[in-house]
Structure 1
Amino acid sequence: MPFDIAAIRAQIPALASGSARFDAPGGTQAPQPVIDAVVAALTGPTANRGSVTEGEHNAERIVAGARAALGDLLGTAPGTVVFGRSATQLTYDLSRTLAKTWGPGDEVVVTRLDHDSNIRPWVQAAESAGAVVKWAGFDPATSELRPEHIAARLSARTRLVAVTAASNLTGARPDLPAIAALVHEAGALFHVDAVGYASHALVDLAAMGADTLVCSPYKFLGPHLGVLTGRAGLLESLRPDKLLPSSDQVPERFELGTLPYELLAGAHAAVDFLAHLDPDARGSRRDRLTASFAALEEHEHALGKRLADGLAELDGITVHGRPAAPTPITFFTVAGHRPADVARHLAAHGVDAPAGSFYAVHAAEDLGLGAGGGVRVGFAPYTSEEDVDRLLAALRLLDEAPAPG
């Protein structure tokens, strides 16, 4: 499976700054085709969606194209693709809608592995309904959340379980199909946060067993917005708060106000870019995405081994939470150095790798780290072997750097 890293990097204008960028888990850099699509949507006539004027037609075309592209990426029908400002906003909206059906004594399960955007909305919605929140832990040694961690929290009163597809802190990937089977056997809904997963592996809503799922295109080379999808029958049954004259059709009933057409055009272009990571891929867009993500995973696996081997040669490095099959994130600390100081040192050497707990506050606590967290290194399709070597070279210089302040 070919993976032409030079050709990919040549299409990312931001890389001209010269930094080795490992901050992709917080947001990726946009390829030129994504930028061009955003510009085209802004410079061409658009209007409220309709079928009369050129602007109305353009708006309809952009929305339909984006729904089809994201449907192909997520393995779901275009008519179930909902757009919003962010995955956090969409999760809050969904939690408030579902909470209308909860009451005292009902139970909601969240995990300590998750980003807070897949915890707090559910906790707050449960509290508003008088429902009980149950917490599932994980194995701190590996950061793995196993099915038995969830099974121990399920009961006949469980209404929803929310689980990450990939930890944004350590990359750990729970066994979602196994967890989904347990959740559904208990008669509950299963919500998946795929924000940290969809940038590295191809999502398949049905195979995961998810009833609802969110992701963020800006984590996979697109612009800043959020996407929600779910089982069509479930979305049809939900009654979110909305304006009286706005459409009651799905997915429009979940979308508040006029959609940002330029961002949808960019998200569409990002999916098409991903579908061509393997230039030899053929068939439908879903087929091309399947081949391209396989090539991407092979590339990132090789980079991960290069990084792991290099870190193992350095003194004082502790990699936290070593899952068996992670997405390409490495979360580490350096003995004698605060994570924030390590991040500043790396930045001074042209390596962007931020430090913190990255909103996974409970996971950081359970890993034995405080609010300072650790240094997070994440890959993107444009990450190269040279980037990894620059990171390792900068870390070797850490003990030679002057003390901060």
Structure 2
Amino acid sequence: MTQLHGLTTPGIGELIDEVTRGSLTVDFTAYDGSRAGRPGAARGLHLRNERGAAYLLTAPGDLGLARAYVSGDLVPSGVHPGDPYELLRDMAAMELHRPTPAQALALARRLGRKGLTPPPPPPEESVPRWRRVAEGVRHNLTRDASAIQHHYDVSNRFYELVLGPSMTYTCACYPHEGATLEEAQENKYRLVFDKLRLTEGDRLLDIGCGWGGMVRYAARRGVRVLGVTLSGEQAAWARAEIEREGLSDLAEVRHADYRSVTEDAFDAVSSIGLTEHIGVRNYPAYFRFIRDRLRDGGLMLNHCITRPDNRRLETGAFIDRYVFPDGELTGSGRIITEAQDAGLEVLHSEDLRPHYALTLAAWCGNLVENWDACVADVGEGKARVWGLYMAGSRLGFETDVVQLHHVLGVRPAPDGTHDLPLRPWWHA
């Protein structure tokens, strides 16, 4: 407690204890010498300055915490900033309540008038949803391109350091818990390839192809592949790798929106990590597009992050502002319904949720191992964003906040027939 203008004002730590109602189980210290939570705990947070306190006050919840953390005003202890998973797990049960008028007034007295004025957000933050209307309605071509560039056109070198040699930024499929990340990513492509019953000479369309992992995997096996991505950085990297591997006669990657593809009669369509970006209201058109690109009897595999329920839910403020602008998720039931309504017969669905937790742990491990190089490449703020986002996502997959589903479907012939085997033909 301190005396300000004749009034007794609680310290920052005391106010934190009040708004968390005793649920903070890490050691919180503040620049004014006050504490909160569990002094002496193995992991903690230190609030370095008034700007960090103003972030917390003016944007209560995950956005204010993220701003203070990304800016370096809220510093973790007991964990590496590239992998704050253990700290987030300790804080998982924390209840953060909006300050009462009395608490807000007490904090304002301590911080002064500046504390009531939102500081400029860190440069890593995207504008809020309502300000993106200048780019048009959500999920039009211009706005989708902007959202993809915000997340993916960071730096190919940064992604190489974090993702590893496969340059694969989607959930791996671990054949066993001791498998390496590279083994698991190779196994994921093998699983998708096998589910789609691809063989030499077939034609595959891979929408949202990223750095071309699936494109190159299939082309190495004699499949003719067209991949499309909205990220110019991804397309350039993928093309160079296709050329280096001598696959140019079989593989093509376009820097384009998937909706621009006019070719049809593909034997298969793969979509690995695209659906999260297109908007739930666009699912009907999305699955009609996939159906129209397939020949009769052609197969599609949709791989995407889902929720445990089938309600449409926009991502939270941190993910929307710092990671996936305009992102939306829903459940596998909604995905299956929309695929069926578009005329695709759904054959199989499975949840790979535990595999994504393992994948994210491996990516965080790479970020920690290559921290100095990552910071040199993209800056410390961006590196903190990625550590926080990936560690938090890992916790989300472990606790069933989010899931990851494969949905396999076929375009039946007009008479409703197809020539698929009676039982699943792939190895899990």
Is TM > 0.5 for Structure 1 vs Structure 2? Answer: no
Structure possessing the higher radius of gyration over alpha carbons: 2
TM-score (norm 2): 0.30
Structure with greater contact order relative to length (CA < 8 Å, sep ≥ 6): 1
